[in-house]
Amino acid sequence: MHKNYSLHINKISKRFRKQLLFRDISFSAETGESYFITGPNGSGKSTMLQIIAGVQKSTAGEIFFSRGKKEIPAGERFSHFGFTSPAVNPYDMLTAAENIRFASSGVKDEQIDEMLSLFGLYPHRSKHVGLYSSGMKQRVRLIIAMIDSPGILLLDEPSSNLDSAGKDILFSEIERIRKDTVIVIATNEHDEIKLCTKGIDIAEQNL
Amino acid sequence: MQSRIFKNLRKDFLIEFRNRSAVNISFAFAGITTLSVSLACGGATLSPQIHSVLLWIIIFFSGMSGLSHIFIREEEERTSLFLALHSDPENIYLSKLVFNIILFSCITALVTPLYLFFMQVVPAYTVYFILTAASGSLAISSITTILGAMVAKAESRSSLFTVISFPVMIPVLWISIKLTSDSIEGGAPPELRSLLFLLAFSGVIISVSYLAFKFIWTEQ
Amino acid sequence: MTSNPLMTLMAVVMIIWFGLALFLYRLDRKVSKIEGVIHEP
Amino acid sequence: MVLYRLIFIFMPVVIYMAFMWAPPAAILGDASRILYFHVPVAWVSVVAFIVSGVQSILFLVTENRRREREYMAYNSAAAGMVFTILTVITGSIWAKLSWGSYWNWDPRETSIVVLMLIYIAYLSLYSSLKEHPNRGGISSVYLIIAMITMPFFIFIIPRIYSSLHPDTIINQEGKIHLEPAMRITLFSSIVTFTLLYGYIYRLMNRISRLEIKAEEKHYDI
């Protein structure tokens, strides 16, 4: 369904004002591969993912996205990836469906309903997200990342706050889409690492 | 691109409409300031210049209380990352600008008639007066949109917002005050060049902000 | 000398300037020294 | 740089020229000598403003030496702020001596106050962005926006106020007649103060560069 996407990270470093977070991280992943990034708390996993998503800038290094042979320019990346992170908060005053519609690019209502019922939120679809529990919010985040069936999926701690049923849904979804998608997961959970084909430990790379 | 702007606008209006407190407070602020000024003046006869100074001070502070809210809300509710992931900076800027222009036009449309009514002022040139109020509030909202985006990222926002807006807004306030007092007083014929000045000023600010917004919104 | 207020004023200004100049010069030297230390190795 | 060190010789000479060599002005007498300090300081505050605006634009446009540029824009504004305060003080003393009141919202006074407000706003914005990773970007955009409002003042000011301020530099029908000796003094004073600003600015930039270097050294190992 998708053309071959690939993602190349070349010697990315990030320094906040006073501290070095990580240095010279390189890896690459292609469609069909799932990649994990692990490391102790504060080692910069989330930052790494946000840099790949383009919402933060790296101090040094380059990132290449390509589809087939063609490189995707920085401005068009939005439409090619899905991103989720505990730092991405849906709007409290909107319902789940409205949040998803806001994030997606022209998805039909049936598709949204389908996703909502898949993640078990269909009964709550007309409630404001502000009234959701944190696990339900996490489900909304996951739907937002996956709704457009993006070629590249960046997941930052995807199973945080999820109960075991939620995790099962998430893992089966990942299984379903993994052969058409580049998946990058930043996590410390063993179950999630087991899903992946390869990965790095940021902290070890630093040494 | 346009659909993105409409989506952002729709979202902002939905949120503000459901959570009316912020908008209500800025309207209440505007109304109460107008009332208290007219109450304090208590039927004294003031010169046109004083009238226009008072009117624009009310408008300025009403703007200060309401216009930075649209960006601050994104930071306070920590939704700015969500927004940044799904829209280009340019679209975000344009949709917030349109929102602010609409909001501030409503505030001006509330304050000005109230002021005229309570202070019993009848402008000599009505059309000229309305045009001045409209283009003055356009200029104020175009400045405050970009400054609101800056202030949302900083600490101690609300007082900082007034501090950083004031110097940039002085030319607008001066010209608007002068034009308003002319239009209340009558006498000298309307000066279209100054009206054009206000429009040109908003145009320049909007185009520079459009270009520079991404430097504020995304990290450099 | 004391009879001319202009003269006194000039003396005061001169003294202020020399104080400032001394301060600036010492700062300059100090920065140069640290620059030497930092850039050398 | 040797050029900037010339101030150590120039400044005493200028002070001597201002107090002793230049003749007193026709109407104001010796009080007019404040001119030789007021005008250069005002000039420097405008120069510092332009420099920090240009540095801000460069910060946004160029890719390399970002942090250095951020500091350079800030340093110029910080130096400019001090000179602006000096301008306001010397200006209001002069206003008291020649027009009889410390402050009367003359166009020149107004424009220096606007400049001062911009500096204050910039510095407080900068300081309240303390730990923000995008401090340089945001404060640069603010300076640029403040800078583009400047031409509009040129349009407005003659419409709102009429001036009392003597046109000291162009001096055609000015109220103070500048004799050649006065003009030479004024000119050399302007040059010296610009050099002083340059010297201070360079010193500040060198310290900032050291700061950046030290930070990188400490954390990049």
Reported as a single tens digit per residue, the pLDDT across C1-41 is: 456 788 888 888 899 999 999 999 999 999 999 888 877 65
Q: Tell me: pLDDT of B137 over 80.
A: yes
At B40 the three-state DSSP class reads helix
Q: Could B11 and A102 be called an inter-chain contact, meaning their C-beta atoms sit closer than 8 Å?
A: yes
Contacts of D158 in chain B (CB under 8 A): none
The reply to whether D15 falls in a domain is: no
Q: Could D199 and C24 be called an inter-chain contact, meaning their C-beta atoms sit closer than 8 Å?
A: yes
How many domains does chain D contain in total?
A: 1
Q: For chain D, what is the mean pLDDT? A: 83
What does the pLDDT read at residue D164? 52
Nearest CB to D19 within list C10, C28, C34: C10
| Structural domains of chain A in order of their starting residue, each with its CATH number | 5-206 (3.40.50.300)
Q: Could B194 and D159 be called an inter-chain contact, meaning their C-beta atoms sit closer than 8 Å?
A: yes
How many domains does chain B contain in total?
A: 1
Nearest CA-CA distance, residue A19 and chain D, Å: 6
- CA atoms A130, A132, A134, A140: torsion sign: negative
What does the pLDDT read at residue C41? 59
Nearest CA-CA distance, residue A20 and chain D, Å: 6
What does the pLDDT read at residue D173? 41
Instruction: Give tens-digit pLDDT for D87-115.
Output: 999 988 888 887 778 887 777 778 888 88
Q: Tell me: pLDDT of D167 over 80.
A: no
The reply to whether D22 falls in a domain is: no
Q: Tell me: pLDDT of D174 over 70.
A: no
Tokens of B92: 């975000």
Q: Which domain holds residue B135?
A: 2-217
Of A35-39, B5-9, D134-138, D162-166, the one with minimum mean pLDDT is: D162-166
| Of A23, D149, A89, residue with least CA distance to B15 | A89
Say how far apart CA B178 and CA D142 lie, in whole Å: 27
How many Å separate Cα D109 from the centre of its chain? 14
At D29 the three-state DSSP class reads strand
Per-position pLDDT tens, chain A of length 207: 456 888 888 888 887 766 778 888 888 888 888 888 888 888 888 888 888 888 888 888 888 888 877 777 776 777 788 888 888 899 988 999 899 988 887 788 888 888 889 888 888 888 899 899 988 999 999 999 888 888 888 888 888 888 888 888 888 888 888 888 888 888 888 888 887 888 888 777 654
Nearest CA-CA distance, residue D140 and chain A, Å: 17
Q: Do B19 and A93 meet the contact criterion of CB atoms below 8 Å apart?
A: yes
Q: Does D219 touch chain A (CB under 8 A)?
A: yes
Contacts of D64 in chain A (CB under 8 A): none
**Counts of helices then strands in chain D (DSSP H, E):** 7, 0
Q: Does D127 touch chain B (CB under 8 A)?
A: no
Say how far apart CA D111 and CA D149 lie, in whole Å: 12
What does the pLDDT read at residue D168? 44
Q: Do B185 and B128 meet the contact criterion of CB atoms below 8 Å apart?
A: no
| Of B91, B96, B93, residue with least CA distance to B70 | B96
What does the pLDDT read at residue B111? 92
Question: Maximum distance among all alpha carbons in chain A?
Answer: 50
Mean pLDDT of B41-49: 81
Residue of D nearest to B216 (CA): D138
What does the pLDDT read at residue D166? 52
Mean pLDDT of D121-141: 90
Q: Do D127 and D74 meet the contact criterion of CB atoms below 8 Å apart?
A: no
The reply to whether D168 falls in a domain is: no
Contacts of A75 in chain B (CB under 8 A): 88
Nearest CB to B167 within list D140, D146, D148: D146
Mean pLDDT of D34-43: 89
Q: Tell me: pLDDT of D124 over 60.
A: yes
How many Å separate Cα D42 from the centre of its chain? 5
Q: Does A207 touch chain D (CB under 8 A)?
A: no
The reply to whether D4 falls in a domain is: no
Mean pLDDT of D35-46: 90
When computed from its CA atoms, the radius of gyration of chain A, rounded to whole angstroms, is 17
The 10 Å CB-count burial string (b at 16+, else e) for D19-52 is beebeebeebeeebbbbbbbbbbbbbbbbbbebb
Residue of B nearest to D116 (CA): B167
Residue of D nearest to B199 (CA): D152
Confidence band for B133, pLDDT divided at 50, 70 and 90: very high
Residue of A nearest to D136 (CA): A17
Q: Tell me: pLDDT of D27 over 70.
A: no
3 state SS for chain A:
CCCCEEEEEEEEEEECCCCEEEEEEEEEEECCCEEEEECCCCCCHHHHHHHHHCCCCCCEEEEEEEECCEECCHHHHHHHEEEECCCCCCCCCCEHHHHHHHHCCCCCHHHHHHHHHHCCCHHHCCCEHHHCCHHHHHHHHHHHHHCCCCCEEEEECCCCCCCHHHHHHHHHHHHHHHHHCEEEEECCCHHHHHHCCEEEEHHHHHC
Q: Tell me: pLDDT of D79 over 60.
A: yes
Q: Do B168 and D147 meet the contact criterion of CB atoms below 8 Å apart?
A: no
Residue D34: DSSP 8-state: G
Instruction: Give tens-digit pLDDT for B85-119.
Output: 888 889 999 999 999 999 999 999 999 999 998 88
Report residue B171: phi and psi, to 5°: -60, -40
C-beta neighbour count of D66 within 10 angstroms = 16
What does the pLDDT read at residue A205? 63
What does the pLDDT read at residue B209? 95
Q: Tell me: pLDDT of B204 over 90.
A: yes
Q: Do B28 and B111 meet the contact criterion of CB atoms below 8 Å apart?
A: no
Nearest CA-CA distance, residue B79 and chain A, Å: 5
What does the pLDDT read at residue D170? 37
Mean pLDDT of D51-63: 91
Say how far apart CA A70 and CA A44 lie, in whole Å: 29
Say how far apart CA B30 and CA B37 lie, in whole Å: 11
Instruction: Give tens-digit pLDDT for B50-61.
Output: 989 999 999 998
What does the pLDDT read at residue A103? 86
Q: Tell me: pLDDT of D85 over 90.
A: yes
What does the pLDDT read at residue B144? 93
Residue of D nearest to A14 (CA): D220
Residue of A nearest to B86 (CA): A103
Consecutive H or E run containing D115 = helix D107-128
Say how far apart CA D48 and CA D138 lie, in whole Å: 19
State the pTM of this model. Answer: 0.88
Tokens of A12: 């990315």
**For testing contact with chain B, the best of D127, D130, D142, D150 (most B CBs within 10 A):** D142
Q: Which domain holds residue D208?
A: 34-153+173-219
Q: Do D90 and D37 meet the contact criterion of CB atoms below 8 Å apart?
A: yes
Q: Do B81 and A89 meet the contact criterion of CB atoms below 8 Å apart?
A: yes
Mean pLDDT of D50-77: 90
Give Cβ neighbours of residue B159 (< 8 Å, ≥ 6 apart): none
Nearest CA-CA distance, residue C17 and chain D, Å: 8
Nearest CA-CA distance, residue B88 and chain A, Å: 8
